[in-house]
Amino acid sequence: MPGTLSNAQRTAPQATFWTLARAPFRRNALLAASFGWMLDSMDVMLYSMVIPAAQRDLHMSSATAGLVMSLTLLAAAGGGIFFGFVADRLGRTRALSLSILIYCVFTGLCAFVQNVPELAICRMLLGLGMGGEWAAGAALVAETWPTEHRAKALGLVQSAWAIGYALAAAVVALVMPHFGWRAVFLVGLLPALVTVWIRRHVKEPDTWSHAPQASARLLFKGDLGRRTLVITAMNAASLFAWWGLFSWVPSFLSLPVAKGGHGLDILHTSSFTLLMQAGTFLGYTSFGMLADRFGRKKVYITFLLIAGVLVPFYAFAHTPMAVLLLGPLVGFWGSGYFSGFSVIASEAFPTALRGRAMGFAYNLGRIASAVAPYFVGYIAQTRGIAFGLMLTSSGFLLAGLIATRIRKEWSTTSP
């Protein structure tokens, strides 16, 4: 069983980020959360990458394919709230490893589905694990890194999502042309091995081990209640925008021009996606550095507003070259702000409630955003996919507006 961290492992404020990263307990926490988030992204995005092929074999409409993704997000919301309780009661590493195991197993089972209901069930069960990973991993890192470097650490964790998305594109490009879309999901089983390493090498934070028990009802009263409301609402708006946009980007690239897409083949779709994820990776990591220097709130709102302006240009770009050039910028601004959410949410709540607070705020927002993939799929059938993608910019702008309600004193909560 993983041990706990002693008070002697507290860090000196003057230590640099890379000096702090040399400590095994802190480095392993960062790696565990990053691997979990990366593999979460890969397993989730494998579905987005194979939607056109799965639609043909399972006779799915675009609206139905979007509905399956929406059901996955709803299940993820329930899983995230549940694992928030697990993280607070049983530990961050237990919650993290169990959630990874669940989403890997059910990703692999997607390879054997024969109809849409079976696919939906597997995706929903996958979602239970997917929802739990983020809160446990983010809490683990927030409680092992000091305030002055926490945004950079959580930015690195968040950047793993871009790597996972890129891995999904690479897996599809390498596997699907030779073995079909079902074999793609079998690759998603492999990351389950990471859970063994986590249980052996990742320690529980000292702050969690010594935190008193607290009732979740406190999250809905007084000042904590206001924090919960604002953070949940801004997350719902930003997740609506993100899932509505990025779950349909592969289809936007590969659909025939007559249906509003750009008619790219698998190789070019994967290449465009990889380049977009390069921009996303830079957005995640840059946010942490900018936020530690200029403040969480200011940088968070800036990212959201620029994303809201860029998305319509991307959606209605007339040529593949324009899409290629705009893709990394959309990835940078339209995803990088997520590093800010993990920092803002982790610092806004006390240790005893952090797992539940983050699980609730992130996943209740996910429930509200679950309609986005279906919404864009429905619009794609009636008005074209470009118009559906363009409408997601409203979510970015609304999230930026809500974020103006964040208060400076929220970030003074120690891990």
Q: Going residue by residue through the chain (415 aa), what tens digit of pLDDT does each one get?
A: 444 444 444 444 467 887 887 888 888 988 888 888 888 888 777 888 888 889 889 998 878 888 888 888 788 888 888 888 888 888 888 888 888 889 889 989 999 999 999 999 999 998 888 878 877 888 888 888 887 888 888 888 888 887 887 888 888 888 998 999 999 999 888 777 788 788 788 888 877 777 777 888 888 888 999 999 999 999 999 999 998 898 888 888 887 777 767 778 877 887 888 888 889 889 988 988 898 888 889 999 999 999 999 999 999 988 888 989 999 999 999 999 988 888 888 888 888 888 888 888 887 877 877 788 888 888 888 888 888 888 899 999 999 999 999 987 776 555 5
How confident is the model at residue 8, as a pLDDT? 42
Closest CA to 259 of 143, 384, 353, 363: 384
Tell me, yes or no, whether 172 lies in a domain: yes
Tell me, yes or no, whether 7 lies in a domain: no
Tell me, yes or no, whether 199 lies in a domain: no
> What CATH number is given to the structural domain containing 314?
1.20.1250.20
Tell me, yes or no, whether 2 lies in a domain: no
Tell me, yes or no, whether 18 lies in a domain: no
Tell me, yes or no, whether 150 lies in a domain: yes
- Please say whether the beta carbons of 248 and 63 come within 8 A: no
Tell me, yes or no, whether 323 lies in a domain: yes
How confident is the model at residue 14, as a pLDDT? 60
The parent domain of residue 350 ranges over 24-194+218-412
What's the predicted TM-score (pTM) here?
0.74
Dihedral over Cα of 254, 256, 257, 258: its sign: negative
* Total number of domains in the chain: 1
Tell me, yes or no, whether 17 lies in a domain: no
